[in-house]
Amino acid sequence: MRLLIVEDNKTLAGALKQGLEEERFAVDLAYDGEEADYKARVNQYDVIVLDLMLPKIDGWTLLKRWRERGMTTHVLVLTARGSTEEKVQGLNLGADDYLAKPFQFEELLARIRALIRRKHAVKNPVIRVYDLEIDTAARRVKRGGKVIHLTPREYALLEFLAFHRGKVVTRPMIWEHLYDEYDENTSNVVDVYIRYLRQKIDKGFDPPLILTRWGEGYMLRGEEDEEASSER
């Protein structure tokens, strides 16, 4: 999943980026309101973590502007301004969650994951697809009761497919959500990681769960996909 961290404190922003990347998120940074506004317009983010006290354009203005434009990305306000009145104002302007500084990284991480599940209408942190089990909180995957060891990139791809179970996701969609703005990989790396996933998720199991829709993209098998094609 791809996040935008909007924070003018570069030390804090860098620490958040490092911590979230270690948790398998793709993370972009913006250090002022103008940069944040531009990146939010040209990229598709799963969650934006927004500080309020920003140079050039403050967080209140950004939040109001984004919602007036119809932007539906979940926004978690992260700020030292933690009074009840300010929380109410942020929520009324369209924030989806509010976390006051100082905070524990584990709480921020849990709130981000909850917002991502909400975006995809997934309430249970454990996603089950046939005999495949994806624990999105522990980042643990099993199939047929057997633990499947995935690299961070493989896990991110599988989770993305699971959040869109039964729906085709195109290569550009996958690229947009799994890679940050500085990643220099080419788009065919998506096909490479699909092959890696099939070796670990589908090989030796039945039915195959990672399907190809020729000329469209990939999907994780839904309940009605018995006749869907797949590469083996």
Q: What is the pLDDT of residues 115-133, one digit of tens each?
A: 998 888 787 889 999 999 9
Q: What is the pLDDT of residue 124?
A: 85
Helix (H) or strand (E) holding 27: strand 26-30
Counting Cα atoms < 13 Å in the Cβ hemisphere of 174 gives: 30
Q: Show the low-confidence residues of the chain (pLDDT under 50).
A: 226-232
5: left (phi over 0), alpha (psi -120 to 50) or beta: beta
Q: What is the pLDDT of residues 37-64, one digit of tens each?
A: 999 999 989 999 999 999 999 999 999 9
Q: Which domains does the chain have, with CATH numbers?
A: 2-119 (3.40.50.2300), 126-220 (1.10.10.10)
Q: What is the pLDDT of residue 176?
A: 80
Q: What is the pLDDT of residue 228?
A: 46
How crowded is residue 69: how many other Cβ atoms within 10 Å of its Cβ? 11
Q: What is the pLDDT of residue 1?
A: 82
What is d(CA 200, CA 65) in angstroms, rounded to the nearest whole number? 44
Q: What is the pLDDT of residue 224?
A: 61
Q: What is the pLDDT of residue 222?
A: 84
Structure tokens at 219: 């999907």
How crowded is residue 150: how many other Cβ atoms within 10 Å of its Cβ? 21
